[in-house]
Copies of this chain bind each other. A is one copy, B any other.
Amino acid sequence: MIVVERVEELRARCDEARGAGKSVGLVPTMGFFHAGHRSLMGAARQATDFLVVTLFVNPTQFGPNEDLAAYPRDLEGDAAAAEAERVDVLFVPSVDEMYPHGAPRTVVHVAGLTEGLCGAARPVHFDGVTTVVTKLFSIVGPSTAFFGRKDFQQLAVIRRMTADLDLPVDVRGCPLVREPDGVAMSSRNAYLDDDERIAARVLSRALREAGDRVLAGERRSDVIEAGVRDLVAAQPLVALEYVEVRDARTLEPRDALDGEVVLAVAAQVGRARLIDNVVLRVDGSHVEVDLGVPAGERGTRSVP
């Protein structure tokens, strides 16, 4: 594995790989790798010939009162993890390298899908994400890019952007990965103290119970959402920001569960803003509940 810091070197290496007939895979990340990131790298390693992982804590996707300065970093550990996943190039640009003219004048904005859910509390977030992902797609030229389903709204937004801009990239969603106690893997779990870490379990437990209710026949979104709200309210360390049933593709609100929907939550737990979701595929009385996958043996990192 080589570590690359410059845009033009990354572009040249990817051009060279494509020129040699290799398919290029891209896993964009903000680093501090956990088993979720590593599962993306594993999927990308299997599916593509030349694997680029980017590690960039992108300032434009953080709001003015968010955790940009505190965001956890561990370049040495990340490089070791990427090497273990047989990554070809780890790209670690500086902010100046990605934005040589200062704050970018050009923004890629996806209307509609970005306005609710996390977009309500984080109004600039998705513009930052879609703009930097457009840049990374352009520099790397991947045939396939891999994103985790924990950031479900991000995945839907990027799919829409890729389709709307005719970007020649297959955007692949990969399973949400959970800790043994059910908590969704997140770099931000590092912010939690012991009590908060235990309290955070209520989110995945509430989603699991919601899935059970749907399996038992409940189809009303407001009833499902109220169930989550009640469970989380009983946990004083967890301040629910939203719980919503949405269409899994368009992210439009859904009054009733039918077809593929996502039940998504966000909550503040101590210093950490956490998100989680369950995807529900409802076809008459047949229901699939997709809560993601447990972390495999390899690649887990214990959270402080």
Residues on A lying within 8 angstroms of B by beta carbon are 7, 11, 101, 104-113, 130-131, 134-135, 138-139, 141, 160-161, 163-168
With both beta carbons as reference points, the residue of chain B lying nearest to A130 in the complex is identified as B106
Chain B residues closer than 8 Å to A106, beta-carbon distance: 108-111, 130, 160-161, 164-165
Say how far A115's CB is from chain B's closest CB, in angstroms: 11
| A264–B178 CA distance with the chains assembled, in angstroms | 59
Per assembly, the copies of the chain total 2
- A/B interface sample: 9 pairs, CB < 8 A: A105-B110, A106-B109, A106-B111, A106-B165, A107-B108, A135-B164, A135-B166, A138-B168, A139-B166
- Are A134 and B7 within 8 A (Cβ)? no
With both beta carbons as reference points, the residue of chain B lying nearest to A141 in the complex is identified as B168
Most buried by B among A108, A131, A135: A108
- Are A107 and B105 within 8 A (Cβ)? no
- Are B111 and A164 within 8 A (Cβ)? no
Say how far A211's CB is from chain B's closest CB, in angstroms: 30
Say how far A107's CB is from chain B's closest CB, in angstroms: 5
With both beta carbons as reference points, the residue of chain B lying nearest to A127 in the complex is identified as B109
- Are B107 and A109 within 8 A (Cβ)? yes
Kindly identify which residue among B101, B105, B113, B134 contacts A105, using a CB–CB cutoff of 8 Å: B113
| A232–B53 CA distance with the chains assembled, in angstroms | 58
Chain B residues closer than 8 Å to A163, beta-carbon distance: 101
- Are B108 and A112 within 8 A (Cβ)? no
Chain B residues closer than 8 Å to A109, beta-carbon distance: 106-109
| A138–B138 CA distance with the chains assembled, in angstroms | 9
